[in-house]
Amino acid sequence: MALPACAVRAFEPPRQPERGAPARTTCPRRHSRVEAELAASRPGSVAASVRADPPRGVSHGFHSRPLLDKPRKASSSLAGAACAPLFALLSRGRRRRMHVLRRRWDLGSLCRVLLTRGLAALGHSLKHVLGAIFSKIFGPLASVGNMDEKSNKLLLALVMLFLFAVIVLQYVCPGTECQLLRLQAFSSPVRDPYRSEDESSARFVPRYNFTRGDLLRKVDFDIKGDDLIVFLHIQKTGGTTFGRHLVRNIQLEQPCECRVGQKKCTCHRPGKRETWLFSRFSTGWSCGLHADWTELTSCVPSVVDGKRDARLRPSRWRIFQILDAASKDKRGSPNTNAGANSPSSTKTRNTSKSGKNFHYITILRDPVSRYLSEWRHVQRGATWKASLHVCDGRPPTSEELPSCYTGDDWSGCPLKEFMDCPYNLANNRQVRMLSDLTLVGCYNLSVMPEKQRNKVLLESAKSNLKHMAFFGLTEFQRKTQYLFEKTFNMNFISPFTQYNTTRASSVEINEEIQKRIEGLNFLDMELYSYAKDLFLQRYQFMRQKEHQEARRKRQEQRKFLKGRLLQTHFQSQGQGQSQNPNQNQSQNPNPNANQNLTQNLTQNLMQNLTQSSRQKENQESLKQNSGKEQNGNTSNGTNDYIGSVEKWR
């Protein structure tokens, strides 16, 4: 059986192109066109009637002709029409699979060709651009002497490396912040870590006059003894963050033990099973949820004097019993005048009967931001129903302290409704929690007129805040850390972080609402202004004192080094004179003059050393008697600071 002509042709070896035929070009379309024109131009050729093959990589369907790696010689039209492709003899499924494989190979080869040619074109254009740049930049150098090929390659590599670094930098940090930070790091000196966090000027104009005792806060805190830090936590002032710093971020001989999943930590004294910290994260709400000044000053001494473990929270009935006993003791004391219960008598209230010293601390915040933050917290369902509000041994009645809502909570409350409630404890909360409520009849508003009541509460809160061992401001985290470390001589492990974006900052209010919030919290506004002035003056006073101590230490070191140098110089001269006595006598006819000079220098050196030692002894005695000298103005640093305050005014 004879095979068709197409089958015979498929099994034949590939034929070479005819002599005189043009070389194959890279473009298949151009090659087909040239070949067809050449075949048609020959006399007696039948190539004109042959159907032109499609270009490489293009097929007409499943029964299309196979693509050959080399161009085929033009054949007869009758043979081409009578014959089918070789793979047409196969089954249909086989032909389909072969065609899919061929199409994939054609697409892959096409993509590779396009990618290769695109990269070649990009490299060619880049070469021209870099050549133009080099010709402009290194033109004068080329006139002196032509650069060899190695130098050109090196410059090209450097430029490519620079471009790659720029691309990577833009990918990592697309904005301009990174570039600005790098420029500031190279241009500007090291910034002060205690610069004002609100970007205000470091030098401010004081409004209040404070004595040295008000500005100097140096607590000789004995963690191994009987001293106790009591943290008064006001709602939405950043007290939770500061409370965590106290139990997790302080360098101690015996750090607090904090377990995963538990809020409270065990903060024991070294070698004892007693706590040195009375706060939410160490002892829990032992005196009630968010106990205020009135509750803490009555509850904490009673708890400590009763020798109850501060880690165990007493029952609600036991808290009432403790506060009732404390109020009876206070009413039954011989000092029943107003001065005994006034805030100025905090020294007598900061100690217990057993001799323990209580150091009260707290954190304040801007009243408008704190008010908005509390409103957002109430919207989420917070009620603080567990707060006792015990004053004078009893909680307030429902008539004295009505509720602003009727349901279980006040969730979803709008801001207007929150501001319209006249019994809302969020109004002037900081003044109420820092003042002595027994001076105004607790929560009974009928004891005295409202204007007089507000004045007494504000003065009481100012006095208690001023006599506290320490207080900080939420808007000045780094300064708060600095003053706490200088006050208690306790260092934190990591620095505080200033968070300027809070829930309160996300609330957008107009000027009218802001003025109304300020009017509802007018006592807090005045207290915060007073606290901010006192806080910044304390900070500047402590910084100035620190600079003066550092300057004094440098001067003492310089004197000591000068004395050592003079001593070694005189010793070397004395050794030289003892080795060559005859030569020294011949060169120096008057040896007594050198001896007198050395004696005078040694006497001056001894006088300087004795003066420095006396100064150290005087400073130690001043530190020991600091409590007696707080009312005086004997410190040069204090006088300089008070003088500067007067100049600023």
| pLDDT mean over 306-316 | 45
pLDDT surpasses 70 at 289:
yes
pLDDT tens track for 143-155: 544 555 666 677 7
- What radius of gyration, in Å, describes the C-alpha atoms of the chain? 46
Contact 85, 6 (CB under 8 A): yes
**11 Cβ neighbours under 8 A, 6+ residues apart:** none
- Cα separation, 540 vs 207, in Å, equals 14
- Cα separation, 48 vs 50, in Å, equals 6
Q: What percent of the chain has pLDDT over 90?
A: 40
Catalytic residue list contains 290: yes
What's the pLDDT score for residue 131? 76
pLDDT tens track for 2-47: 555 555 554 555 555 555 444 544 444 445 555 555 555 555 544 4
Contact 435, 461 (CB under 8 A): yes
What's the pLDDT score for residue 160? 82
What's the pLDDT score for residue 321? 53
Question: Among 227-231, 247-251, 558-562, whose mean pLDDT is lowest?
Answer: 558-562
DSSP bridge pairs for 197: none
Which tokens go with 154? 């090196």
Contact 265, 248 (CB under 8 A): yes
pLDDT tens track for 247-264: 999 999 999 999 988 889
Confidence tier at 119 by pLDDT (50, 70, 90): confident
Question: Among 43-52, 160-169, 442-451, whose mean pLDDT is lowest?
Answer: 43-52
Supply the DSSP string of 440-500, one letter for each residue. Answer: GTTT-TTSS-HHHHHHHHHHHHHHHHHHSSEEEETT-HHHHHHHHHHHHT--BSS------
For 270, 292, 304, 366, 534, the CA distances from 530, given in Å and listed in that order, are: 38, 20, 32, 12, 6
pLDDT surpasses 50 at 341:
no
What's the pLDDT score for residue 132? 76
What's the pLDDT score for residue 626? 47
Q: Could you give the 3-state DSSP secondary structure of residue 290? A: coil
Sheet strands side by side (includes 357-364): 277-278, 227-232, 357-364, 470-473
Which residue has better confidence, 45 or 275?
275
What's the pLDDT score for residue 600? 62
User: H/E element holding 35?
Assistant: helix 28-41
Catalytic residue from among 233, 268, 290, 389: 290
Which residue has better confidence, 239 or 602?
239
Supply the DSSP string of 293-317, one letter for each residue. Answer: HHHHHHHHHHHHHTT--TTSPPPHH
Arithmetic mean of pLDDT over the chain: 74
pLDDT surpasses 60 at 72:
no
Question: Among 118-122, 334-338, 507-511, 587-591, whose mean pLDDT is lowest?
Answer: 334-338
Supply the DSSP string of 508-564, one letter for each residue. Answer: ---HHHHHHHHHHTHHHHHHHHHHHHHHHHHHHHHHHHHHHHHHHHHHHHHHHHHHH
